[in-house]
Chain A
């Protein structure tokens, strides 16, 4: 906190004048900009929260759980497709987080750290239940003729997602199609396109190469496109 106040004081002194790159003036200016972005305040608040949780403060622990449990549950539900399994997953993710919180070094934000723990826990749950992980999606991939030309019937204007999702049945149909993809593809699609993780993060968490992530993602997207064609063309019920 003392550092934050010192930075605020230096902010007033330095203002927004740029200094020569590498100078202490430039370092201070960059630090001030970080303060303006909320950086150190957020880090300070997280550090205080962490310290209280580590010391077993029940009030802070309760606030911590209530702050994060909602999005963690939504994430687990998206990945597992089963609310009861998702609740188990969240509970176990918190247990793991509490066990590991003493060694959390703050290299990422608390939320990023919890996100990763939850994804890991959901992946473990998926491995423990019997699912169709080996199904092929070859029949759903794009087609080409003997000349190497794509076979694709013409498309007119495609409605926006919000127009298409006005019908609850359409939402359910789309999510059902995603959940029906074989796990190897669906998980990569969900982590990259829905949870917005980077290719490197997905590769790391699934312990596969980045090029494998890219291959699976493209195939999953191509398969999903084929499955959603009736919806996108307005031909579904």
Chain B
């Protein structure tokens, strides 16, 4: 029964997003994400994108997790490698300088 209700809800939502004025489907929303996060969407497209965000729980949650994973990936890569900046082996410096002198 729950699955049937959810299926109906999604069907109505899909129809509204596809045919409603000033609306985009979730698949269309997907293609705008990169430019939206770069601040590169023209104002009209940005309004449509943000309206979709308001009415679609799934895309709102998706975008939140998408942003969080970018931030987590960046922080993890920078933290793991950060100590190496202060730990430069002298033999590597020497090898570089020797190669320069040749």
Using a CB–CB distance below 8 Å, which chain A residues touch chain B? 58, 61-62, 65-66, 69-71, 73-74, 77-78, 83, 87, 90-91, 94-95, 98, 142, 144-155, 158, 160-162, 164-165, 170-172, 174-175, 177-178, 189-190, 193-194, 199, 214, 217-218, 221-222, 224-225, 228-229, 231-232
| Pair B30/A147 contact, Cβ less than 8 Å | no
How far, in angstroms, from A74 to B92 measured CA to CA in the complex? 14
Given contacts A65-B96, A66-B93, A217-B34, contact A232 B74 (CB under 8 A): no
Given contacts A148-B18, A174-B73, A194-B78, contact A222 B65 (CB under 8 A): no
How far, in angstroms, from A160 to B58 measured CA to CA in the complex? 21
Question: In this assembly, does B1 line the interface, its C-beta being within 8 Å of a C-beta of chain A?
Answer: no
Given contacts A69-B93, A174-B76, A175-B76, contact A150 B26 (CB under 8 A): yes
Given A70-B85, A150-B26, 8 more pairs with CB closer than 8 A: A147-B14, A147-B15, A147-B18, A148-B18, A149-B10, A164-B72, A177-B73, A214-B35
B29 to chain A, nearest CB (A): 8
How many A-B contacts if CB must be within 8 Å?
A: 162
Binary contact track B11-28/A, C-beta < 8 Å → 1, others 0? 101110110000001111
- State which of A62, A151, A218 has its C-beta within 8 Å of the C-beta of B33: A218
22 contacts between A and B (CB under 8 A): A69-B96, A70-B85, A78-B81, A90-B96, A98-B100, A142-B30, A147-B11, A147-B18, A150-B59, A150-B62, A152-B61, A155-B65, A158-B64, A160-B71, A171-B80, A175-B76, A178-B73, A214-B34, A225-B69, A228-B69, A231-B72, A232-B72
| Pair A148/B25 contact, Cβ less than 8 Å | yes
How far, in angstroms, from A225 to B11 measured CA to CA in the complex? 26
| Pair B99/A94 contact, Cβ less than 8 Å | yes
> How many residues of chain B are within 8 Å of chain A by beta carbon?
54
CB-CB < 8 A to B72: which residues of A? 161, 164-165, 174, 228, 231-232
How far, in angstroms, from A165 to B33 measured CA to CA in the complex? 26
- State which of A94, A149, A153 has its C-beta within 8 Å of the C-beta of B25: A149
| Pair A65/B26 contact, Cβ less than 8 Å | no
How far, in angstroms, from A86 to B43 measured CA to CA in the complex? 44
CB-CB < 8 A to B33: which residues of A? 218
CB-CB < 8 A to B27: which residues of A? 144, 148, 150
| Pair A91/B10 contact, Cβ less than 8 Å | no
| Pair A152/B76 contact, Cβ less than 8 Å | no
Binary contact track B62-94/A, C-beta < 8 Å → 1, others 0? 101110111111111111111011101100110
B2 to chain A, nearest CB (A): 15
A159 to chain B, nearest CB (A): 8
A217 to chain B, nearest CB (A): 6
| Pair A154/B57 contact, Cβ less than 8 Å | yes
Question: In this assembly, does B44 line the interface, its C-beta being within 8 Å of a C-beta of chain A?
Answer: no
| Pair B69/A78 contact, Cβ less than 8 Å | no
